[in-house]
Amino acid sequence: LRRSGSSSTASSHFASRGFASALAHERKVAVLGASGGIGQPLSLLMKLNPLVSRLALYDIAGTPGVAADVSHINTRSEVTGYAGEDQLGQALEGSDIVIIPAGVPRKPGMTRDDLFAISAGIVKSLCEAIAKYCPNALVNMISNPVNSTVPVAAEVFKSKGVYDERKLFGVTTLDVVRAKTFYAGKAKVNVADVSVPVIGGHAGVTILPLFSQATPRANLSDDDIKALTKRTQDGGTEVVEAKAGKGSATLSMAYAGALFADSCLKGLNGVPDVVECSFVQSTVTELPFFASKVKLGKNGVEEVLGFGPLSDYEQQGLEALKSELKSSIEKGVTWHAKSK
Ligand code: NAD
Ligand code: LMR
């Protein structure tokens, strides 16, 4: 266990208007899998977030070094590293948000579903500990396959009697980040102004960007929309292939994970009208989990928003994704039932 850092250094660094109200809330964030490819840059970005007062970095190994390193940054949060299962409880206790990038990345030729056997076991044991040590925390699930790990987590929480559907999120922000980037490039608009909802799930065709709702509006051809949709759906594979066996997206994922956690923190702190896309328990389709825009509040999901009018192409995409998403969800539920 390594404890370092100081909570007294941040005020000078972030002494800007509005910071005083952010400081009014003590918020603990735990990152599980903090030594990994995503975990390290995500820990760095969470250390830069002035809404965080305590940052707990947990992994099976390597976290004392990561925590010592990150803790020297002169921002608000106090950083503590925890290594090994016997320190997991301490890492989790008092957490407001638990971010889970623990697992293994895929290699070229693999699907996210190929990671299921390893991820399901890891997610189960981590969620059992969350149920015990911080059952009220918001859980941001990054570990793949998200379409199945989120249902596994829900089943674990149900079995422990602590399931609150408002507090479990599959992180699909990277799909939104990619859709915005690719759209801005094609539409020749300022990427900072772009908004694109992405619905469905987080794997291949289950990722459905709604370019018909993208703003600023642009006159793109059907072929352009198809190409943008495919690139968004294959964004993860594009990175896996470019890394050629050395893992999957880590830096862009850390950015996306930090963005989503920041929105969760803002919601917890009572900031109004915080909306993000996320894979959550849902009734917007007949599927029990579905990614769409959700409004975040003091208890997590305040409202699961519908997805509005779809183009014919998107409607076809929605119908086409349902069977894969349904079976990925069922896979998680069935695995948990058998794992007892
Ligand atoms: P990585 O191998 O670099 O890091 C994973 C880390 O998890 C390692 O440090 C490992 O020690 C740790 N770990 C393994 N078992 C653990 C356990 N039981 N408890 C705590 N930590 C544990 O992998 P990565 O590139 O960081 O990817 C991690 C996961 O994130 C993968 O499942 C990957 O597919 C997924 N991912 C999801 C998205 C998304 O958009 N949701 C994007 C990119 C990657
Ligand atoms: C991604 O979208 O980059 C992640 O889900 C990682 C992967 O395996 O593609």
Tens-digit pLDDT profile for residues 188-206 = 999 999 999 999 999 999 9
With a threshold of 0.95, tell me whether the complex ipTM lies above it: yes
Q: Are 154 and 168 in contact (CB under 8 A)?
A: yes
Ligand 1 near 31 CB (within 6 A): no
DSSP SS3 for 58: strand
Average pLDDT over residues 102-116: 97
Q: Verify whether ligand 2 is closer than 6 Å to residue 277 (CB atom).
A: no
178 lines ligand 2 (CB under 6 A): no
Helix 235-243 to helix 173-187 angle (10° resolution) is 90
Q: How far is the CA of 104 from the centre of ligand 1 (A)?
A: 5
Return the structure tokens found at 330: 């069922």
- pLDDT per residue as tens digits for the range 288-303: 999 999 999 999 999 9
Q: Which of 59, 86, 175 to mutate to test the pocket of ligand 1 (most atoms within 8 A of CB)?
A: 59
What is the C-alpha to C-alpha distance for residues 302 and 198, in angstroms, rounded to an integer?
19
Average pLDDT in the 99-125 region? 98
7 alpha carbon to ligand 1 midpoint, in Å? 28
Distance CA 310, CA 210 (A): 7
* pTM metric for this prediction: 0.95
CA-closest candidate to residue 77, choices 134, 30, 130, 127 = 30
